[in-house]
Amino acid sequence: MADREVLLKVDHLEQYFKMGKGYLKAVDDVSFEIYKGEVFGLVGESGCGKTTTGRSIIRLYDITGGSVYFEGQRICAGTRAYKQAIKDARSKYRDISAKINAAQKSEIEQNSSDAENIKSKYAAEKDAAKREYLETLRTQRHNISSANYDHKNCNKVFSKAQMKKVEEKYAPLFEKASLNEKDELEKEYKKELKLARKDRIMNKMQMIFQDPIASLNPRMTVREIIAEGLIIRGIKDKKYIDEMVYKVLDLVGLVPEHAGRYPHEFSGGQRQRIGIARAVILQPELIIADEPISALDVSIQAQVINLLNELRDKLGLTIMFIAHDLSVVKYFSDRIAVMYFGKIVELATSDELFAHPMHPYTKSLLSAIPLPDPHFEKNRKRITYNPIADHDYSVEKPTMREVYPGHFVYCSDSECEKYLKEYEEKKAAAVKAEDVEDKASEADENEVTAAVEEKKPVRKARSKNSSAKKKSDK
């Protein structure tokens, strides 16, 4: 994992919504990385913050705190943590000042003759505390300024970088080109430079929404819906736009005749394909698929999942897949993060998570997966998750820890040791069971071989007797 290229990095993401005098912590201190070319699954119950996480990453919401990096560039930045650090530093400075003043007053009352020396001694302590406070204030204000700049100007920074790439691309071509070729190169250069100037980093990220009919404008034709991104980007060549629209329609399993129709003329699965086409036409590197199959029939769900798999292979897409259906997520995802009440409680590869779940909530989710086996379903036991009973965080505070290489769990120190012990015991039991199976299969093979060897001479004797009988008959 360390050698793979990180496409998206989410660092301590917070998304709070104002509710009266307090805040609703929809997403609270979430961190993860998505590697290039992988499918990253995000699962959890309704209302746990999955969709809000996706919408915050793609800048549909202004995040409260934390940072989001895409290809190394910060595209989202919140300031809550920095402001909180300033408040904490101010409160700490006031407490220290009050204690120093109280100690100074007490000491002067006891030894009034040496008041000047006492005041100078405590003045040095006050100055040290003030310097520390001012340094914290300066650092955090700089962080706030930097966060605000990155959040507001990420598109400008990206477009400048794209323009620089275009200039570097055409500089050697202009040097080698003849006078006649330079005119054509100049036209191409200006065209690409104009597109680079209007390019935005969010063009590299697109979203497939949960409800296909709600995400499509009923007053626009399919052609207008799909082509809107190209037009916003600054492309005006109608022939090129039509070609791209028809190409993308064919890619998602629709035909060019569908381009002139309106969204209400399609089925749910076809509307979702239109949404996928709209996301794919800008050739993004990351697609956030927000429960793209939850509103569809089971047969249509399989079609959409297969379509996303094909597009992933053809276009080299990276997908963040948000869903409820754990069996689908297991089939489609490389790594899975489990979310509960705005926090990621477990993160591991798909096979590892299903084989060795550690967090009680993950075990509860997996126990709820129905299987098409009536005997198993009759005896299946649901595991209920009660955070008050399952955890005691009064002394030890939980954090996200790597319990086993590549397997992260939100837990305390004692829970981490417990999970690791259970994991190793389970692994040892699995290895032991495999050894027993291997020995049993080896014993079966030996028995079969021995039985075959015993039958061989009998067959030879029978063949001699039969040949002798034939001769006597003759």
Q: Which position has the higher pLDDT, 454 or 390?
A: 390
In a domain, 152, yes or no: yes
Is residue 51 pLDDT above 70, yes or no? yes
What are residue 323's DSSP bridge partners? Answer: 43
Structure-block tokens of residue 366? 């997996």
pLDDT for 260-281, tens place per residue? 999 999 988 899 999 999 999 9
- The SS3 of residue 265 is helix
In a domain, 207, yes or no: no
Highest mean pLDDT among 25-39, 372-386, 423-437: 25-39
Structure-block tokens of residue 445? 């093979």
The whole-chain average pLDDT of the chain stands at 87
CA distance 38 to 40: 6
Q: What is the pLDDT of residue 241?
A: 93
In a domain, 120, yes or no: yes
Is residue 452 pLDDT above 70, yes or no? no
In a domain, 364, yes or no: no
What are residue 338's DSSP bridge partners? Answer: 43, 346
Is residue 298 pLDDT above 70, yes or no? yes
pLDDT for 142-168, tens place per residue? 999 999 999 999 999 999 999 999 999
- The SS3 of residue 278 is helix
Is residue 181 pLDDT above 90, yes or no? no
Q: How many CB atoms lie within 10 A of CB 45?
A: 16
Contact 249, 281 (CB under 8 A): no
Contact 234, 198 (CB under 8 A): yes
Q: What is the pLDDT of residue 55?
A: 94
Overall number of domains in the chain: 2
Q: How confident is the model at residue 379 (pLDDT cuts 50, 70, 90)?
A: confident
The whole domain housing 421 covers 412-474
Contact 226, 250 (CB under 8 A): no
Question: Following DSSP, what letter does each residue of 76-134 receive, concatenated?
Answer: EE--HHHHHHHHHHHHHHHHHHHHHHHHHHHHHHH-GGGHHHHHHHHHHHHHHHHHHHH
In a domain, 112, yes or no: yes
In a domain, 176, yes or no: yes
Q: What is the pLDDT of residue 460?
A: 47
Is residue 101 pLDDT above 50, yes or no? yes
pTM: 0.83
- Gyration radius (Cα) of the chain, Å: 33
Q: Inter-axis angle of helices 179-198 and 115-176, to 10 degrees?
A: 140
CA distance 362 to 336: 11
Question: Following DSSP, what letter does each residue of 196-218 receive, concatenated?
Answer: HHH--GGGGEEEE-S-TTTTS-T
Structure-block tokens of residue 100? 């120093």
Q: What is the pLDDT of residue 294?
A: 81
pLDDT for 348-367, tens place per residue? 999 999 989 999 999 999 88
Percentage of the residues of the chain whose pLDDT score is greater than 90: 48
Is residue 84 pLDDT above 70, yes or no? yes
Q: How many CB atoms lie within 10 A of CB 42?
A: 29
State which of 172, 195, 218 marks the end of a domain: 195
**φ/ψ of residue 322, rounded to 5:** -100, 125
CA distance 419 to 411: 9
In a domain, 345, yes or no: no
State which of 195, 218, 236 marks the end of a domain: 195
In a domain, 375, yes or no: no
State which of 195, 223, 255 marks the end of a domain: 195
Is residue 381 pLDDT above 90, yes or no? no
